Structure 1
Amino acid sequence: MIVCVCNRVSDREITRRAQQGCSSFDELQMATGVATCCGRCEDCARAVFADASDGGWQRLDHQPALMLAAAA
């Protein structure tokens, strides 16, 4: 899906950059232009980047019910 309409950056592009060693959201912005125009995509872009960078653990930490269900 397109995350940043202004610069036509997809979730796949963000994931690919993170997996190839992009180490910070600032670096991602410099490389792709994501969230540098209107800024409406920043929350989504940061979430996609965090999921790709840490394997999604950050999101799971905020969903204890999901973790409990998975452990059962």
Structure 2
Amino acid sequence: MIVCVCRHVNDKAIAQAARCGASFDDIQIDMGVGTQCGQCESAARGIWMQCSPSQSIAQISRGPTTESATYT
């Protein structure tokens, strides 16, 4: 689906760039997403966040770490 109508950028292009490790700033510079009218920025960021390698499921659903665990 087209995310950025002004620059004709679709969700697949944003997702692919995110999976390759591009920051959202990189995507804006390379593709122009969110730089003209700005209406697509929140949708584009959402796609980027879902597909970014730094947003793995293990990090999101991780339980308490040893630093935060209380031992008795």
**Would the TM-score normalized by the shorter structure come out above 0.5?**
yes
SS at match of 1:36: coil
1:16-67 residue CA offsets vs partner (Å, 9 max, x unmatched): 0011121x2111101111000000001100000000112478xx88xxxxxx
Gaps of 5+ in 2: 62-72
Q: Which has the higher helix share?
A: 1
Whether the aligned pair in 2 keeps the contact of 1:14 and 1:28 (CA below 8 Å) is: yes
Larger radius of gyration: 2
Q: How many residues align?
A: 58
**Deviation beyond 6 Å, 4+ runs, structure 1:** none
Higher normalized contact order (CA 8 Å, seq sep 6+, divided by chain length)? 2
Question: For the aligned residues, what is the CA RMSD?
Answer: 1.9
Percent identity reads 43
Gaps of 5+ in 1: 62-72
* TM-score in terms of structure 2 length: 0.71
**CA 3–17 in structure 1, closer or farther in 2 if over 3 Å, else same:** same
SS at match of 2:34: coil
Q: What corresponds to 2:30 in structure 1?
A: 31
Q: What corresponds to 1:7 in structure 2?
A: 7
